């Protein structure tokens, strides 16, 4: 079976949102291919088997040429280590002043001839020649594109609408207006391109976290190399002011690092030997020597870039609606324009020229560019703005879903609490002493990565000889059972003691209790306590202020612990002593209680909660910085350990939604107003062009506010 692969193509020079949607649609019609176009970054991502992607570059190039002949298709997999993120970013910024010079010169030259034509009103023929020349200079490209598109069966686009409208104006004797409208249209298109590019730059600057080089230590010499050329186990040196290029462990040096690019946190983090250093951090002061633990492709910075870049592949319902709406809207308006041009003259005996002129105005207004461009940019800006605050949203659909949150369900350990456990009490029974109790518990927990196990091993404080352990069995939701030194050791909760028919001491405590038995004889209990995060209470309060109906906690801890945390934080409901499968069942019940439009969030650590994260409408992983499991499992990743960032994410989602609907209301409102005015002969061509390109520019500038 052929291997499934992904390919990225950069469409350099693509500024037409409508064409972008058409290209995406036609590429998706290729057998076995799934494609999505990120208009903000100009990247077309194609997925399929290696066989199906054979020759895909040529197929896509032909499709792009069909809609946008001037756009250059670039394969993002470049030799000589010019990898796709860097390459894509460079091309996002490629439309600088040089790119706008040619259209600006054409507009300027056409404007000069237009003014000459206005002055030369003595000779009708000379006036026609001057205006026609001016028209061809500024609108010749639009005219050619319209003709080419018509021959390909692509009729209803802005080139066709402008061509029909302006040629029609020539035929009814409105030479100056025909030229002026084309000049105004091209000027508007130029401003629109500039606005789109500025919006792209603002968004992509948020992702400007890719390190350009690494200082690789080879013997006693430092070599400046690409991060992609560094291997796991290599030693790199990061100087003050430099970005940490790859994930690794500090082996020498002390420094404070700026983590704001990844987490949104303004407070520097201190690194010392043994600390984990993540790619994207900026070294503030000391010299750091780091042993690389992940290749660049698997590093934190690469994963974040990939997530933000590909977030637009999951489109919000509003985006899908607008794309569908635009498909039907233009043909309907064109049909209405034909009706306006023909019905009144034929039925009422009115003058054809007057009603044709009105129909032409109607056509100019009808282009849905403002919506098609500004709405994806608005959502992408919202996702970019969230990433700047340390919140990774994996798609526009999840960002939009955050507007309708009714219920937030929290895991306890590592989410609302710090997940840093300490042994606060150890009570030995039946002839065992405290040291024996801790040692046997440490042997039982020696293979577990659970925070409770870690705290027992920390309390024991000695190296465990794992060769002593003959058998090991982890019992989910209960504890562990091992055979060591010829003894059977059981360590876990009350359920495990009951299951093994061991009589134990019933202890009420606000900490987690681990009971220990040796060869079916009760050895005592250990009390382990966790601490609530300082940020948790604020998070619950903010969610209530935002109108979230219920804040609920699900935990495997005993009832006393769960209720204590719930009361302290002001949670609405607490469900304790749950096994992993119980959490899913409880979530199903909670999900059935929300309204049809309401959304349920589950917030967990992304490592042990994958089934529940997947079942929720929106799964949020807390403290996902550097955790591969968290990034994979969740729909939203909070890069810090702050639960209050959930409220921040909801606020960003709501602000983005407001901006998107402002654009929809503004664009449709202005267009409907001018369509009515055009039909009744009140609006002229100038106003019609404003209702098209002017509205698009304003909507794009408004969409840029979502980034902040």
Max CA distance (Å), the chain: 119
CB atoms within 10 A of CB 209: 20
**42 vs 14: CA distance, rounded Å:** 7
**353 vs 345: CA distance, rounded Å:** 9
DSSP 402: G
Answer for the pair 167, 139: CB distance below 8 angstroms, yes or no: no
Distances (CA, A) of 688 to 66, 166, 177, 692: 28, 12, 12, 6
Which residue is catalytic, options 411, 609, 641, 692? 411
Which residues are CB-neighbours of 129 under 8 A, at least 6 positions away?
none
Count H helices, E strands: the chain? 24, 26
Token pair belonging to 190: 């130029």
Token pair belonging to 472: 């090991």
Instruction: For residue 595, give the 3-state DSSP assignment.
Output: coil
**106 vs 186: CA distance, rounded Å:** 9
Straight-line distance from the first to the last Cα atom of the chain, in angstroms, rounded to the nearest whole number: 47
Token pair belonging to 243: 């970005």
**408 vs 215: CA distance, rounded Å:** 45
Residue with tokens 């792209």: 200
Which residues are CB-neighbours of 683 under 8 A, at least 6 positions away?
361, 365, 674, 677, 691
Angle separating helix axes 434-444 and 451-460, nearest 10 degrees: 140
How many residues would you count in the chain? Answer: 708
Q: Which of 396, 401, 377 is nearest to 315 (CA)?
A: 396
**279 vs 257: CA distance, rounded Å:** 11
Residue with tokens 């290729």: 30
**78 vs 225: CA distance, rounded Å:** 17
**623 vs 638: CA distance, rounded Å:** 6
Task: List helix spans (H) across 172-275.
Answer: 175-205, 260-263
**378 vs 376: CA distance, rounded Å:** 5
Establish whether 591 is a catalytic residue.
no
Q: How many CA atoms does the CB half-sphere of 501 hold within 13 Å?
A: 0
Rg of the chain's alpha carbons, rounded to an integer?
32
DSSP 243: B
Token pair belonging to 306: 């990939």
The Cα angle at residue 400 between residues 397 and 403, in degrees rounded to 5: 145
Instruction: For residue 371, give the 3-state DSSP assignment.
Output: helix
Q: Which of 449, 437, 442, 492 is nearest to 469 (CA)?
A: 442
Answer for the pair 403, 653: CB distance below 8 angstroms, yes or no: yes
**619 vs 604: CA distance, rounded Å:** 8
Answer for the pair 498, 525: CB distance below 8 angstroms, yes or no: no
**134 vs 138: CA distance, rounded Å:** 6
Residues assigned a catalytic role: 411
């Amino acid at each position: 079976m052929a291997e499934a692969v992904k390919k990225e193509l950069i469409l350099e020079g693509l500024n037409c949102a409508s064409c972008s949607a058409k290209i995406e649609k036609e590429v998706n019609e290729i057998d076995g291919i799934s494609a999505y176009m990120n208009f903000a970054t100009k990247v077309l991502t194609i997925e399929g088997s290696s066989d199906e992607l054979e020759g895909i570059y040529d197929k896509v190039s032909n499709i792009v040429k069909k809609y946008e002949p001037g756009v250059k298709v670039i394969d993002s997999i470049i030799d000589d280590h010019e990898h796709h993120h860097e390459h894509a970013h460079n091309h996002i910024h490629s439309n600088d002043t040089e790119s706008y010079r040619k259209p600006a010169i054409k507009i300027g030259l056409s404007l000069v001839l237009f003014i000459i034509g206005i002055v030369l009103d003595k000779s009708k023929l000379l006036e026609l020649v001057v205006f026609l020349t001016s028209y061809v200079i500024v609108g010749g490209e639009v005219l050619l594109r319209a003709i080419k598109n018509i021959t390909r069966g692509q009729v209803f686009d802005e080139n066709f609408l402008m061509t029909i409208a302006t040629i029609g104006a020539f035929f009814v004797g409105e030479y100056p207006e025909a030229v002026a409208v084309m000049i105004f249209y091209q000027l508007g298109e130029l401003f629109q391109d500039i606005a789109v590019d500025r919006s792209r730059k603002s968004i992509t600057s948020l992702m400007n976290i890719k390190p350009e080089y690494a200082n690789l230590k080879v013997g006693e010499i430092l070599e400046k190399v690409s991060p992609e050329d560094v291997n796991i186990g290599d030693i790199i040196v990061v100087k003050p002011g430099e970005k940490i290029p790859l994930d690794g462990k500090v082996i020498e040096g002390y420094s404070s690092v700026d983590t704001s690019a990844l987490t949104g946190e303004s407070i520097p983090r201190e690194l010392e030997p043994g600390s984990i250093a993540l790619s994207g951090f900026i070294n503030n002061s000391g010299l750091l020597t780091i042993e690389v633990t992940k290749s660049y492709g698997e590093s934190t910075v690469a994963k974040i870039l990939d997530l933000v870049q590909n977030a637009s592949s999951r489109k919000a319902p509003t985006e899908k609606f607008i794309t569908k709406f635009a498909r039907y809207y233009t043909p309907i308006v064109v049909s209405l324009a034909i009706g306006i041009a023909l019905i009144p003259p034929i039925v009422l005996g009115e003058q054809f020229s007057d009603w044709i002129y009105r129909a032409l105005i109607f056509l100019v207004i009808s282009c849905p560019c403002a919506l098609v461009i500004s709405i994806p940019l608005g959502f992408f800006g919202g996702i970019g703005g969230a990433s700047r605050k340390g919140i990774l949203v994996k798609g526009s659909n999840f960002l939009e879903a955050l507007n309708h949150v009714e219920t937030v369900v929290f895991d306890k350990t590592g989410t609302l609490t710090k997940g840093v456990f300490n042994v606060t009490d150890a009570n030995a029974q039946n002839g065992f002493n405290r040291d024996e109790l801790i040692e046997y518990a440490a042997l039982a927990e020696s293979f577990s990565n659970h925070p409770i196990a870690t705290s027992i091993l920390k309390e024991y404080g000695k190296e465990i000889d794992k060769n002593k352990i003959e058998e090991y069995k982890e019992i989910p939701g209960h504890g562990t059972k091992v055979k060591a030194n010829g003894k059977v050791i059981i360590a876990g909760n009350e359920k495990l003691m009951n299951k093994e028919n061991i009589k134990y001491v019933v202890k009420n405590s606000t900490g987690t209790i681990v009971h220990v038995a040796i060869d079916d004889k009760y050895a005592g209990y250990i009390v382990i306590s966790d601490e609530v995060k300082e940020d948790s209470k604020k998070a619950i309060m903010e969610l209530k202020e935002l109108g979230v109906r219920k804040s609920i906690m699900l935990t495997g801890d005993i009832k006393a612990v769960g209720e204590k945390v719930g009361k302290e934080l002001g949670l609405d409901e607490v469900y304790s002593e749950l096994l992993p499968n119980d959490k899913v069942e409880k979530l199903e019940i909670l999900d059935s209680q929300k309204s049809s439009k309401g959304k349920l969030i589950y917030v967990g650590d992304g490592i042990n909660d994958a089934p529940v994260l997947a079942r929720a409408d929106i799964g949020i992983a807390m403290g996902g910085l550097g955790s591969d499991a968290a990034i994979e499992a969740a729909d939203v990743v909070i890069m810090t350990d702050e639960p209050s960032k959930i409220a921040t994410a909801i606020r960003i989602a709501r602000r983005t939604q407001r901006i998107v609907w402002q654009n929809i209301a503004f664009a449709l409102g202005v267009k409907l107003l001018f369509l009515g005015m055009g039909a009744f002969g009140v609006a002229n061509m100038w106003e019609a062009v404003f209702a098209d390109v002017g509205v698009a520019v304003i909507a794009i500038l408004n969409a840029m506010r979502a980034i902040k």
